[in-house]
Amino acid sequence: MPRFIVQGGNPLHGRIKINGAKNAVLPMMAAAVLTESECVIKDVPDIRDVRVMVRILRDIGVEVELEDVNGQRHLSLKAEQIRTDTIPAELMREMRSSVLLIGPMLARLGSACMTHPGGCAIGLRPIDMHLNGFRKLNARIERYRDEVRVLASEEGLLGTDIHLEYPSVGATENAMMAATLAQGVTRIWNPAREPEIDNLAEFLRLMGSRIWGTGTDVITVEGREKLGGAECTVIPDRIEAGTFAVAAAITGGEVELENVCPSHMRAFISKMCEVGVRIIRLEDGSLRVQSPSRPRAADLRTLPYPGFPTDLQNQYLAMACAADGTSVITETIFENRFKVAEEFVRMGALIRTEGRLAVVKGVPTLSGTRVKANEDLRGAASLILAGLRAEGTTEVQGADPVDRGYMDFAGRLQKLGACISRQD
């Protein structure tokens, strides 16, 4: 099991380039299944979730090629022929986001089959809203043990009104993608408003879809008989940018983030300012993160976009452990996202959790020790961040989930002056 050895205490300094967003590229890769023509996705991050998605796409018959163009990774995808409507169970297990292929496969082939993705470290993560959307679009759902099969009826998918009980990111994306090849108009009410959904809509529009209303209360999709190829660039990863910003803040350092979109990070930036971290926009569009030696405490509540992202909650929690004062953190999106708190406590943090609430009394020093990451990518990254602050050596065991969402996390932290090594 890979582990990271972190020697804490070095304030981070330097400049780092942020990659394309994991949560944007995965739905875009799935959307390439909607057309038999070639699609090119630019600025694709070199992370494990992308590699798993490539394996799944190749497995179902999509031709996938990766090319380096002036230091940027481009992915070309051609789904001329899809050989199966079934996503293999073992790959489904490796990555929950493979559920995003169901909408495009259903729209293109008339059926899609997968094993239920099940729960994960951060919560139950049901897919009922995804399935309800397909049902509304005139598909039927069949279940056998943990297998879920979604089948379009004889007349195909029909445009409809879909009301989401909750602005689920994945359910919005799946409904949007399936609706692009449905007959007639689909309206998705109460959709998620995340920037990654905008990026997906942009890609779908370039493929010939008619979609409007992303970022508002209702997304409208006018179905088309066929879609064509397209080229589109992935937006910068706001969660990766936030993680490196916290790395700077938790060590009292100063780091410049290149390739960021500050308008996607308003809630995060505002919270960082509240805790005393200065975020300065530079002329070239980069962000300079300047931190005091010890950030102040401030309460936090995660919310769907444009609220504070749940995917940055654990990193904020790591910072709150060492902040000056007490922070109350409320997690409203996933029911099990404070698991990492136990490990912070082993490092000397004072945290009390109750359900979706964590009360954190900041301590001046955390102590390095051996901690264990569970199967959660952001939790694993947060333990490494806490290790950067701690006195002495922190050994983060089982931290390989960071590879799912961060390219060479240890190497890039090292370039900023962190004392970190990885042992596989």
Chain contacts with ligand UD1 (rule: CB under 6 A): 23, 26, 97, 123-130, 166, 168-171, 192, 310-311, 333-334
Neighbours of 90 (CB within 10 A): 10
In contact, 236 and 20? CB cutoff 8 Å = yes
CB of 415 to ligand UD1, least distance (A): 25
- Pair 397, 1: CB distance under 8 Å: yes
List all residues 6 or more positions away from 230 whose beta carbon is below 8 Å from its beta carbon: 39, 40, 203, 206, 207, 208
Residue at token pair 């408003």? 193
Nearer to ligand UD1, 35 or 97 (CB): 97
Q: Whole-number minimum distance, CB 332 to ligand UD1, in Å?
A: 9
Q: Dihedral sign for Cα 202, 207, 213, 217, please.
A: negative
> Which CB atom, from 129 or from 329, has the smaller least distance to ligand UD1?
129
Nearer to ligand UD1, 376 or 400 (CB): 376
CA 44 from centre of chain: 14
The three-state secondary structure class of 4 is strand
Q: Supply φ then ψ for residue 284, to 5 degrees.
A: -80, 10
Least separation in angstroms between residue 253's CB and ligand UD1 is: 26
Contacts 24+ apart (CB under 8 A), 148-152: 148/113, 148/114, 148/115, 148/116, 149/111, 149/112, 149/113, 150/102, 150/106, 150/111, 150/112, 150/113, 151/106, 151/110, 151/111, 152/106, 152/107, 152/110, 152/111
In the complex, the smallest distance separating the C-beta of residue 337 from ligand UD1, rounded to whole angstroms, is 9
321 labelled catalytic: no
Of the pair 186, 251, the CB lying nearest ligand UD1 is at: 186
Least CB distance to ligand UD1 at residue 57 (A): 15
Q: Which residue is nearest to ligand UD1 (CB)?
A: 170
For the CB of residue 174, give the shortest distance to ligand UD1 in the complex, in Å: 9
Instruction: Determine which one of 120, 232, 321, 419 is catalytic.
Output: 120
> DSSP assignment, residue 368?
-
**CB closer to ligand UD1 out of 286 and 353:** 353
Cα(270)–Cα(257) distance, integer angstroms: 16
Closer residue to ligand UD1, CB minimum distance, 240 or 256 = 240
Tell me which residues are annotated as active site.
120
